[in-house]
Amino acid sequence: MITIRHLMFSRPHGEFAMNIPRLTVDRGESVVLTGPSGSGKTTLLDLAAGILQAESGSIIVDGQDLTAMTEPRRRSFRLRRIGLVFQSFELIEYLSVIDNVLLPARISPEVILDSELRSRAARLLECAGLDRLQRRSVTQLSQGEQQRVAVCRALLMEPTLLLADEPTGNLDPDNSRRIMDLLLDQVRRMNTTLLAVTHDHTMLSRFDRALKFQDLLVSEQNPAEADRAS
Ligand code: ADP
Ligand code: MG
C-alpha cells in the first residue's frame, strides 16, 4: 500500500537531512513510529502525504508514485485518498467544529457535500465525544478537543491511507483509547493503511507493528542499511 525506497530529503541550508532506504506498510496494516523529537518523523509523514517533495527515491501509495506527480496531481490525490492528522491540528479558526470536519468535502471539487456526508461528520464527532460542540468555534476548544476534531476530519472521506502525527498527544487515557478505537475502526472496516507517530508507549500494543524511527534511517553508524535495502 505504501512503499518507500531510497528516500532522500534535506532542508535548505543543510540543517536537516534524511535518508530512508526502505519502508513498506501493507494494505490494512497499522504501523506506529516512535523516536526522539526533531528526528524527522513529521517530515516523513509530510513526504508520505505529498506535502513535501522528496529529492530522490520513490514513495508509492496505492500503486502511484507521489514523487513522479506534479504538485496539483499530488494535491488532488491527497484530497481523495489520504487522511491526515497533523501534529499541530491545522484547524481553520473561522470555521465551526462541524465545518472543520466537513472541510475535505468542501475543498474537493469532485465531492458533493450531501446529507450523507453531514451525518457521517456528526457521527464521527459523536464517537469522539464532541457531539455537543458541533456548532462551536474551534478557537473555543481545549487542545485535546481540537485534536479530536482533527482526527474526525481525517476520517471523513474514508481514506485508503491514514497518516496520524501523535494523534493522542494531547489526550487523557480515556480519550486516547476512544480515538485509537476510531482510527482502528477505519482500518478494519475499509482496509485502510495506518501510519502513525506516537510518544505514548501504552498505545504501541494496539498497532500491528511498532518501529523505531532511527532504525529506518541510514546513519554514519549504520551505512550498511543502504545496501540491504536494494
Ligand atoms: P519530529 O517530528 O521527529 O519531532 P520533524 O520532522 O518535525 O521532527 O523535524 C525534523 C528536523 O527538521 C528538525 O531538525 C526540525 O528542526 C527541522 N524542521 C522541521 N520543520 C522545518 C521547517 N519548516 N524548516 C526548516 N527546518 C525544519
Ligand atoms: Mg513531529
Determine the distance separating the centroid of ligand 2 and the alpha carbon of 112, expressed in angstroms: 33
The type of residue at 121 is: A
Mean pLDDT within 22-33: 98
For residue 165, report the distance from its CA to the centre of ligand 1, in Å.
Answer: 13
Selection from 149, 161, 156 nearest residue 28 by Cα: 161
Q: With cut-offs at 50, 70 and 90, classify the pLDDT of residue 43.
A: very high
Q: How confident is the model at residue 226 (pLDDT cuts 50, 70, 90)?
A: low
Of residues 62, 64, 65, 1, the one with CA closest to residue 29 = 1
Ligand approaching nearest to the C-alpha of 88? 2
Lookup: cell for 144: 485535546
Label residue 4 by pLDDT band (50, 70, 90).
very high
pLDDT band at 222 (very low <50, low <70, confident <90, very high): low
Contact (CB, 8 A) for 179 and 154: no
pTM of the model as a whole: 0.94
Q: Which helix (H) or strand (E) holds 124?
A: helix 115-127
Distance from Cα 29 to the centre of ligand 2, integer Å = 21
Dihedral over alpha carbons 226, 50, 210, 23 (to 10 degrees): -30
- Nearest of 38, 23, 50 to residue 211 by alpha carbon: 23
The answer to whether 168 touches 89, Cβ cutoff 8 Å, is: no
Ligand sitting nearest the alpha carbon of 44? 1
Shortest-distance Cα residue to atom 19 of ligand 1: 43
Tell me the average pLDDT across 75-104: 95
CA distance 230 to 222: 15
Q: In this predicted structure, what is the pLDDT of residue 69?
A: 95
When the pLDDT of each residue in the chain is averaged and rounded to a whole number, the result is 93
Using CB distances shorter than 6 Å, the residues near ligand 1 are 11, 15-16, 37-43
CA 214/CA 2 separation, integer angstroms:
19
Q: Which atom of ligand 1 lies closest to the CA of 44?
A: 6
Distance (Å) from CA 41 to ligand 2 centroid: 5
Length of the chain: 230
C-alpha cell belonging to residue 10: 534535506
Among 88-97, 106-115, 120-129, 208-217, the range scoring the smallest mean pLDDT is 106-115
Provide CB contacts within 8 A for 24, sequence distance 6+: 2, 3, 4
> Percent of the chain having pLDDT more than 90?
90
Higher pLDDT, 223 or 152: 152
CA dist., res. 68 & res. 217, Å (int): 22
β-bridge mates for residue 163, sequence order: 84, 195
Query: For the residues 36-48, what does the mean pLDDT come to?
Result: 96
Residue nearest to atom 16 of ligand 1 (CA): 38
Q: 199 C-alpha vs ligand 2 centroid, how far in Å?
A: 10
Rounded-to-integer distance, Cα 103 and Cα 196, Å: 22
Ligand at minimal distance from the CA of 164 is 2
pLDDT over threshold 80, residue 36: yes
Ligand 1 atom having least distance to the Cα of 39: 3
- Give the mean pLDDT of 188-194: 97
- What is the best residue among 7, 10, 15, 212 to mutate for testing ligand 1's pocket, by most ligand atoms within 8 Å of CB? 15
87: its cell numbers: 501534529
Higher pLDDT, 164 or 219: 164
